[in-house]
């Protein structure tokens, strides 16, 4: 992928950044930067801007008004090693192009993910798809990790035994657990990467995929710092209001235009109050 050089990005190119216990993220290549976004916008907006400050203002304008096509001119290619269950969450973002190691052609490595003690928790009582924020008792956590490790070793031993008997690799692999590490190349443009990051950097996202998103975002800031600053300003950590919530907000601010709108109640009111209190999208 041909690209104009960005010193900060070049400094981290091909460098492995560790994630979780055995994973990593590596920037393999990139195309474009803040300059490419501005240049693409100038096609539509004429002569455009000339200083860094004005470039930043134009990028702000583009992001603020959802003019997304200039951001699609920038692309990043990541090489990642990640647990299969994290990969399956990432693959739901269908805007990326990926090439994954194949268990049909290759013998899978004996690499499995085991969470750190602090990351083990019971099921949350108020979040059907998440874990409790309270860590497990250290003794219980140790027992759980030992059980996980034993099951992983047993599973891989059975896999190796099938390979040793000449069973087809595509069959031998099917009982390997989701904790097995896989690897892939993942290419995505900046617009769709921002959408991925907005969702996966959110505190409600699963911790393991959030760890990968954090490292990917740190790398992205090296490639396009002005774009990332605008992303942080207008998208990351921002909240949106429904029509009814906006009416409630107007009522509280004394807007006559919203005075006749129906008041929020029940869960809808609770969600609105939580947005105001925490600044988090629910």
**pLDDT tens digits for range 49-100:** 567 788 899 999 999 999 999 999 999 999 999 999 999 999 998 899 999 9
Mean pLDDT confidence for 108-116: 96
Mean pLDDT confidence for 225-242: 89
At residue 89's C-alpha, the angle toward residues 85 and 95, to 5°, is: 140
Q: Does residue 42 have an active-site annotation?
A: no
**Could you tell me the strand order of the sheet in which 16-19 lies?**
16-19, 23-31, 75-83, 181-189, 97-100
Catalytic residue among 104, 200, 235, 271: 200
Per-range mean pLDDT, top range of 49-58, 199-208, 216-225: 216-225
Residue 209: its H or E element: helix 207-223
CATH no. for 1-113+180-238: 3.30.1360.170
Buried b (16+ CB within 10 A) or exposed e, 31-64: bbbbebbbebbeeeeeeebeeeeebbebbbebbe
Question: pLDDT for 132-169, tens place per residue?
Answer: 888 889 999 999 999 999 999 999 999 999 999 999 99
């Amino acid at each position: 992928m041909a690209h104009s050089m960005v010193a900060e990005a070049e400094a981290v190119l091909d460098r492995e950044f560790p994630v979780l216990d055995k994973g990593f993220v590596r920037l393999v290549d990139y195309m474009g930067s803040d300059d490419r976004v501005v240049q693409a916008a100038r096609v539509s907006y004429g002569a455009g801007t000339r200083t860094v400050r004005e470039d930043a203002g134009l990028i702000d304008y583009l992001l603020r008004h959802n003019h997304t096509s200039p951001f699609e001119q920038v692309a990043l290619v990541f090489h990642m090693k990640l647990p299969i269950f994290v990969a399956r969450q990432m693959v739901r973002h269908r805007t990326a192009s990926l090439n994954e190691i194949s268990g049909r052609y290759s013998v899978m490595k004996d690499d499995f993910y085991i969470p750190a003690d602090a990351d083990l928790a019971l099921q949350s009582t108020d979040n059907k798809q998440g874990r409790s924020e309270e860590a497990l008792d250290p003794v219980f956590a140790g027992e759980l990790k030992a059980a996980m490790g034993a099951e992983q070793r047993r599973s891989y031993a059975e896999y190796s035994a099938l390979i040793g008997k000449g069973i087809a690799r595509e069959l031998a692999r099917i009982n390997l657990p989701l904790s097995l590490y896989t690897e892939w190349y993942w290419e995505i443009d900046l617009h769709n990467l921002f959408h991925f990051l907005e969702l996966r950097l959110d505190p409600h996202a699963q911790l393991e995929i959030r760890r990968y998103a954090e490292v990917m975002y740190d790398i992205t800031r090296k490639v396009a710092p002005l774009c990332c600053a605008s992303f942080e300003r207008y998208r990351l950590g921002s909240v949106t209001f429904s029509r009814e919530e906006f009416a409630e907000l107007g009522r509280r601010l004394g807007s006559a235009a919203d005075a006749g709108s129906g008041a929020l109640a029940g869960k809808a009111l609770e969600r609105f109050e939580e947005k105001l209190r925490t600044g988090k999208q629910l």
